[in-house]
């Protein structure tokens, strides 16, 4: 049984609390948050204690921490937790600064403690099944990957300003998906982006619509499309062409009802946003972390994976700004 | 907070335990089973006590019982629980004997306690959305209903022998679905059945493949298809033609992956069986029961509903045997 | 090259004219119609001659006739054409009277001339592919067939009155589909019907909504649903459960465009009616007839097939009237 | 009635012959080809005459020519035909040289004769319906376009060598689709390509897999994916995200049969190649040309459209070679 401290009691922290408490191999023993009241409320709901982060890290009875705090605290908390001997599952992204994330990696490596980054989409049953089919060789060799990832609506501009930008905040998931499916990092990143959904996003220095093309050493190609607005719901699809066929993973729908009238044939929309779509993925992610820690297995997503995606986000940000292709260092 | 005793710790009892324990408005306090060990194991997993049914019914601290025991005990337990002042959720069918079920209804009516029958499919998000669309008038007036309900594989013949037969054991869900969607009971039942899946089922006096046609006082028609074997998984679909359109509710799939190769385009199969398909329905059913009890609202599925479906099952059994249409009494 | 006379220049005659003229192995040489003007117009469009039916049948230069006249003339024309040495393709149904159709069969058998009945749906690429899959054994042994067949809108009541009723006029196609897919005639027919689409149809002594259940000697079951009104278009589907799987053949859609908005996900409707849906089937049907005549092969649909479907229509009409099951004679 | 000469009796010429002969407003009167025998055979099948191109252009009785010869003859034939007073429908691309195509445009403008370029996909019922929905404002303002266009199998390397390369030969259709749907030319073209399907294609100096990103003056983005090999069939899809929703146009399938077994749920594949998929598009394209010529209306696809797509192909070829973005001149 893994005794877990949850750092961060916001929206995503609450999602993880469900998973930690509901898992047969883990128990939620402590919760911290900069807003003490949030921590207390969440802790109370699960019979856990509200404590400070320092307190949680110092407690030898706590085996693991889940870091669900704001991004600017991730690197510090990962380091501190690993040094305190905890296993760590940290939400993405590792950091907004690639350099800081790399320092963090070095610091953590010394501790020998396992650190996992929360790229939840790898655990989505649909994307996981697509990967499994690929690994079984069912479409031969992968050649051309296309990732579509649209949010239902843009976040507030106040959030955009501290987010690190679309490539670091939103497309980072898709960079990791590309790495997950292509099995290696690309060599070159080309990005275009614009703010046509909301000019205020442009005014804040960010884009809301973007396309990134990735090329691989062996000639394979991947393309990622992002938009901050798909009014019909969270649109998360992957399509991979291989030498022997095509794999597509589609959206989960609200329900399977189809209504045929004179106006057309109407089906359910995609589930609304990440909480609806990825709840099973969060549970599977946590299960994978717990199993790896308790069974001494390899982390399914590593700090290096988090850094690889961050490097791609940084390259894409630069490419979108300069209009030039950016080579990734090996 | 509803304090709940669970009677029956078998497969379906275990499903309900998850729902009772996971619901914010109920807690599982006691479990009984004819196999004491099963009750103990299930109780331990949820911090509840293993007790005898009598004990649970006699405990004034227990507000409600969920009856998930074998069918032959349902009527007795419903009566005893209602007389003991408990709110009752009982698994379908009420009884294998229509007469006994009607006695049970009379006995319960005197107590004034709420009794709900567990027709879980009414709470399936897909069928519930279909019903909601119908009620909004989106296909006008319902005219022709078709229910398809195939199990992945037949149960053991030993189970068939005590099941009451396909119409009482399996199609009873579809009879209730017809009542749920058509809003009233039919006037005539016509059934045909045969045992082509497994001749041993026929030797045991039952059928494994059946079609029932229901006619309504106003000319509407419903048809139900059942098979004990659909090798590709649990096939549970509803299709309702109305004056202004058609509503269809389809299966849930294992995942959304589609694989296109020279051999064709392959999608995921339906989820395997009722546990996979109806887990959300069981949770929604329990929520509806808890809300009705705690808020003093009308039961969403009543004992009368259970009896209406049972009467149709009895009529279908007779019709399949005699080859004649059977009229239902008003 | 087959020289063809077309008897009947109405809507369905015009459909066939396209096929006869467009086929590389046949040429349309003459057209007749009770309205001389219709015959002249259609003949002119294809460089054929407008002549009387008698004239066409008497012309030794004409190899084959396609009978697309009103149903009450079918038997007489089939007999006359066969006796005149023509190969015959006659639209369904053979006759409204089973007895008359059987006389026709006897009369034709003496001539040795090939007669085909126009059950066009056997040649629909979707139903033909379903049958091919069944014959390859891809779902094992057929067990439970369901045919859905809805027209977009009812015909005028004036047509209903001379149509022979829904079972002879509309469901006869589905009876033939059942025979085509199940490979033999059923032993018992059970029908229910009502007029809920349009009470005037009921006043004219017919039904507009009906369900027929067919049982087979070996225990297999088929069910057919008909409605005269599906406002979203021509709904023509077949579903066949077998020991190793399920086959479904769906509708053709107007187009493949899918539109996702806040209001839902909207797809194209089924093609509107039989002309849109079955145009490829009519061409394939004609090809099959021409090939069989020119190559001396067996007719793909025989006069006996037409009579078998008619016998089922007659039994269904009786069953719907009496409420009793009707046994078919072997 | 438009009297038509067909220049070129190869595969695509034969497709057009069906359309010209089958159209009620046009007749095929002459056919030419460098292989006299091919012209004679095709002409004979339609009661037309085999003649030389010069002969056809010189015949005042011929109103229009359809140019379906090899690409290197297109510009010369367009000029000669326009000067000879014919209306012209010429297969894509106009030319492999943008400069030559521009000269051709100048030469033709002087004649005042209508010239249409054969971008058949604009007339595909699915893409046309998508465009119609966009024009009705059903997804608001277009923002992000994705075109997927995969051939089932690469052509022989001998063809690749004279094709002008993937961007001019294959993706030119998709460039025109982008112009058709976005309503204007992009400002910048970025291309990546590689030969991973067949190294011989790379050895011949071409690519077989490519992604092109187009950016528009107002911030909109389009992305095109091409592969020379999709083993499951011709994969031709368009997806357009707008401010109020998403439009998707999918493939046509072989048939609508779905087979569910223990191995999964298998649907029909896309129709095999362009002849199967686009036959209705070729007929609609020809109809649009005939109507425009006979009714004096504007050509639905102009020589300028052909040149715009060619300019994009040239830019993409350069971008893929240099790795740099290429700006299009206004």
pLDDT tens-digit series, residues A209-230: 999 999 999 999 999 999 999 9
Cis peptide before D93 (omega within 30 of 0): yes
- Count the neighbouring beta carbons within 10 Å of the beta carbon of residue C205: 11
Mean predicted confidence (pLDDT) in A154-178: 96
Put simply, the answer to whether D266 touches B266 (Cβ < 8 Å) is yes
Put simply, the answer to whether A260 touches B245 (Cβ < 8 Å) is yes
Mean pLDDT of chain D, nearest integer: 96
Can you read off the two tokens belonging to residue D44?
């004979």
Put simply, the answer to whether B247 touches A257 (Cβ < 8 Å) is yes
Question: Which alpha helices (H) appear in chain C, and where do they start and end?
Answer: 11-22, 36-45, 53-58, 74-83, 98-111, 125-135, 157-162, 166-169, 172-182, 199-203, 274-295, 303-322
With an 8 Å Cβ cutoff, the interface of chain A facing chain D consists of 143-144, 146, 148, 150, 188, 190, 192-197, 209-211, 213, 215, 218-221, 223, 225, 227, 229-232, 235, 239, 241, 243-246, 323-325
What letter would DSSP give residue C204?
A: T
Put simply, the answer to whether D264 touches B265 (Cβ < 8 Å) is no
- Can you state the percent helix, strand and coil of chain B, rounding each to 5? 40, 25, 30
Q: At what angle do helices C274-295 and C125-135 cross, to 10 degrees?
A: 60
Put simply, the answer to whether A247 touches B255 (Cβ < 8 Å) is no
Put simply, the answer to whether B247 touches A261 (Cβ < 8 Å) is no
Tens-digit pLDDT profile for residues D268-307: 999 988 888 999 999 999 999 999 999 999 999 999 999 9
Query: A195 by DSSP, 3-state: which?
Result: coil
Length of chain C: 330
Q: In chain C, which residues have their Cβ closer than 8 Å to the Cβ of A234?
A: none
- Number of CB pairs < 8 Å for A and D? 103
Nearest CA in chain B to C322: B325
Can you read off the two tokens belonging to residue C121?
């749906």
Put simply, the answer to whether D218 touches A197 (Cβ < 8 Å) is no
Summary count for chain B: helices (H), strands (E): 12, 15
Nearest CA in chain D to A228: D243
The answer to whether A229 touches A151, Cβ cutoff 8 Å, is yes
Q: Per-residue pLDDT for A24 more than 90?
A: no
- What local confidence, expressed as pLDDT, does residue B276 receive? 87
- What local confidence, expressed as pLDDT, does residue A91 receive? 96
Tens-digit pLDDT profile for residues A196-211: 999 999 999 999 999 9
Contacts of B103 (CB under 8 A, 6+ apart): B75
- What local confidence, expressed as pLDDT, does residue B330 receive? 59
Can you read off the two tokens belonging to residue B262?
């020279």
- What local confidence, expressed as pLDDT, does residue A116 receive? 98
Q: Per-residue pLDDT for D329 more than 80?
A: no
With an 8 Å Cβ cutoff, the interface of chain C facing chain B consists of 143-144, 146, 148, 150, 188, 190, 192, 194-197, 209-211, 213, 215, 218-221, 223, 225, 227, 229-232, 235, 239, 241, 243-246, 323-325
- Backbone φ, ψ for residue D186 (5° rounding): -75, 170
User: With bands split at pLDDT 50, 70 and 90, how would you rate the model's confidence at A330?
Assistant: low
Nearest CA in chain B to C144: B209
Nearest C-alpha neighbor of A32 from the set A2, A3, A6: A6
With an 8 Å Cβ cutoff, the interface of chain C facing chain D consists of 22, 125-126, 129-130, 133, 138-139, 244-252, 254-262, 268
Q: In chain D, which residues have their Cβ closer than 8 Å to the Cβ of A244?
A: 231
- Indicate the Cα dihedral angle B132, C225, C323, C330, nearest 10°: -150
Q: In chain A, which residues have their Cβ closer than 8 Å to the Cβ of D217?
A: none
Q: In chain D, which residues have their Cβ closer than 8 Å to the Cβ of B231?
A: 261-262
Can you read off the two tokens belonging to residue A83?
């040094």
**Longest pairwise C-alpha distance within chain D:** 67
Q: Per-residue pLDDT for A138 more than 80?
A: yes
Chain A contact partners (≥3 CB pairs within 8 A): B, C, D
| Distance, CA of D239 to CA of D244 (rounded, Å) | 14
| Distance, CA of D329 to CA of D315 (rounded, Å) | 10
- What local confidence, expressed as pLDDT, does residue B235 receive? 97
Nearest to B260 among A22, A125, A245 (CB): A245
Put simply, the answer to whether A241 touches D150 (Cβ < 8 Å) is yes
Put simply, the answer to whether A219 touches D211 (Cβ < 8 Å) is no
Nearest to D259 among C133, C259, C261 (CB): C133
Cα–Cα distances (Å) from D268 to B209, B266, C137, D140, D262, in that order, read 29, 9, 17, 33, 17
Put simply, the answer to whether D243 touches A229 (Cβ < 8 Å) is yes
The answer to whether A152 touches A272, Cβ cutoff 8 Å, is yes
Residues of chain C with pLDDT under 70: 330
| Distance, CA of B87 to CA of D186 (rounded, Å) | 69
Query: A233 by DSSP, 3-state: which?
Result: coil
Q: In chain D, which residues have their Cβ closer than 8 Å to the Cβ of B252?
A: none
Question: In C25-62, which positions are buried (b, 16+ CB within 10 angstroms) versus exposed (e)?
Answer: ebbbbbbbbeeeebbbebbeebebbbbebeebbebeeb
| Distance from the B152 Cα atom to the nearest Cα atom in chain A, whole angstroms | 20
The answer to whether C47 touches C20, Cβ cutoff 8 Å, is no
With an 8 Å Cβ cutoff, the interface of chain C facing chain A consists of 230-233, 235, 253, 260-270
Mean predicted confidence (pLDDT) in A175-186: 98
- Which DSSP string corresponds to B197-264? S-HHHHHTT--SEEEEEEE-TTS-EEEEEEES--TT--EEEEEEEETTEEEEE---BS--EEEEETTE
Nearest to A269 among C232, C233, C265 (CB): C265
Chain C contact partners (≥3 CB pairs within 8 A): A, B, D
Put simply, the answer to whether A213 touches D218 (Cβ < 8 Å) is no
- What local confidence, expressed as pLDDT, does residue D330 receive? 59
Tens-digit pLDDT profile for residues D62-89: 999 999 999 999 999 999 999 999 999 9
Task: Calculate what percentage of chain A has a pLDDT beyond 70.
Answer: 100
Put simply, the answer to whether B266 touches D264 (Cβ < 8 Å) is yes
Nearest to B126 among A247, A255, A261 (CB): A255
Q: In chain C, which residues have their Cβ closer than 8 Å to the Cβ of D252?
A: 256
Mean predicted confidence (pLDDT) in D49-66: 97
What letter would DSSP give residue B113?
A: -
The answer to whether D223 touches D211, Cβ cutoff 8 Å, is yes
Mean pLDDT of chain A, nearest integer: 96
- Number of CB pairs < 8 Å for C and D? 84
* SS3 of D121-146: HHHCHHHHHHHHHHHCCCCCCEEEEE
Sign of CA dihedral A253, A259, A260, A262: negative
| Distance, CA of B12 to CA of A141 (rounded, Å) | 45
Choosing among D27, D123, D141, D257, which should be mutated to test the C contact, i.e. which has the most C CBs within 10 A? D257
Burial of residue D37 (number of CB atoms within 10 Å: 0-12, 13-18, 19+) = exposed
The answer to whether D238 touches D174, Cβ cutoff 8 Å, is no
What letter would DSSP give residue D302?
A: B
ipTM of the complex: 0.95
Summary count for chain A: helices (H), strands (E): 12, 15
Nearest CA in chain C to B195: C219
- What local confidence, expressed as pLDDT, does residue B298 receive? 92
Can you read off the two tokens belonging to residue D91?
């297969």
Q: In chain A, which residues have their Cβ closer than 8 Å to the Cβ of B17?
A: none
Put simply, the answer to whether B209 touches C143 (Cβ < 8 Å) is yes
| Distance, CA of D328 to CA of C25 (rounded, Å) | 54
- What local confidence, expressed as pLDDT, does residue D24 receive? 85
Put simply, the answer to whether A244 touches D231 (Cβ < 8 Å) is yes
Residues of chain B with pLDDT under 70: 330
| Domains by residue range for chain A, with CATH | 2-113 (3.40.50.720), 124-278+309-327 (3.30.360.10)
| Distance from the B200 Cα atom to the nearest Cα atom in chain C, whole angstroms | 14
| Distance, CA of D114 to CA of D87 (rounded, Å) | 5
- Count the neighbouring beta carbons within 10 Å of the beta carbon of residue C150: 23
The answer to whether D159 touches D193, Cβ cutoff 8 Å, is no
Burial of residue A18 (number of CB atoms within 10 Å: 0-12, 13-18, 19+) = middle
Q: In chain C, which residues have their Cβ closer than 8 Å to the Cβ of B210?
A: 221
Choosing among C265, C267, C272, C273, which should be mutated to test the A contact, i.e. which has the most A CBs within 10 A? C265
| Distance from the B76 Cα atom to the nearest Cα atom in chain A, whole angstroms | 35
Cα–Cα distances (Å) from D102 to B15, D172, D304, D307, D318, in that order, read 73, 16, 9, 7, 19
The answer to whether C317 touches C48, Cβ cutoff 8 Å, is no
Put simply, the answer to whether B144 touches C225 (Cβ < 8 Å) is yes
Query: C115 by DSSP, 3-state: which?
Result: strand
Put simply, the answer to whether C254 touches D130 (Cβ < 8 Å) is no
Rounded to a whole number of angstroms, the CA Rg of chain C reads 20
Can you read off the two tokens belonging to residue C211?
């369900």
User: With bands split at pLDDT 50, 70 and 90, how would you rate the model's confidence at A274?
Assistant: confident
């Amino acid at each position: 049984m893994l005794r877990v401290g949850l750092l961060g009691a916001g929206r995503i922290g609450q999602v993880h609390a469900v998973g930690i408490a509901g898992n047969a191999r883990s128990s939620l023993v402590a919760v911290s948050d900069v807003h003490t009241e949030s921590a207390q409320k969440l802790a109370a709901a699960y019979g856990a204690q509200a404590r400070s982060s320092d307190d949680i890290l110092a407690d030898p009875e706590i085996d693991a921490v889940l870091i669900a705090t704001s991004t600017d605290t991730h690197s510090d908390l990962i380091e501190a937790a690993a040094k305190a001997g905890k296993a760590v599952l940290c939400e993405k992204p590792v950091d907004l600064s690639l350099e800081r994330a790399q320092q963090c990696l070095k610091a953590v490596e010394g501790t020998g403690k396992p650190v996992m980054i929360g790229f939840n989409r790898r655990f989505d049953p649909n994307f996981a099944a697509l990967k499994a089919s690929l690994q079984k060789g069912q479409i031969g060799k992968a050649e051309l990957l296309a990732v579509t990832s649209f949010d239902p609506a843009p976040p507030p501009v106040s959030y955009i300003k501290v987010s690190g930008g679309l490539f670091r905040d939103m497309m980072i998931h898709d960079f990791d998906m590309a790495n997950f499916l292509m099995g290696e990092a690309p060599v070159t990143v080309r990005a275009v982006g614009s703010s046509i959904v909301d000019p205020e996003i442009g005014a804040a220095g960010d884009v809301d619509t973007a396309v990134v093309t990735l090329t691989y050493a062996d000639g394979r190609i991947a393309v990622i499309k992002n938009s901050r607005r798909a009014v019909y719901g969270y649109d998360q699809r992957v399509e991979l062409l291989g030498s022997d066929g095509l794999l597509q993973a589609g959206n989960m729908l609200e329900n399977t009802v189809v209504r045929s009238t004179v106006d057309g044939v109407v089906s359910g929309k995609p589930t609304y946003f990440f909480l609806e779509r990825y709840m099973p993925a969060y549970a599977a992610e946590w299960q994978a972390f717990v199993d790896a820690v308790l069974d001494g297995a390899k982390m399914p997503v590593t700090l290096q994976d988090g850094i690889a995606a961050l490097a791609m986000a940084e390259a894409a940000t630069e490419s979108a700004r300069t209009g030039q292709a950016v080579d990734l260092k090996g």
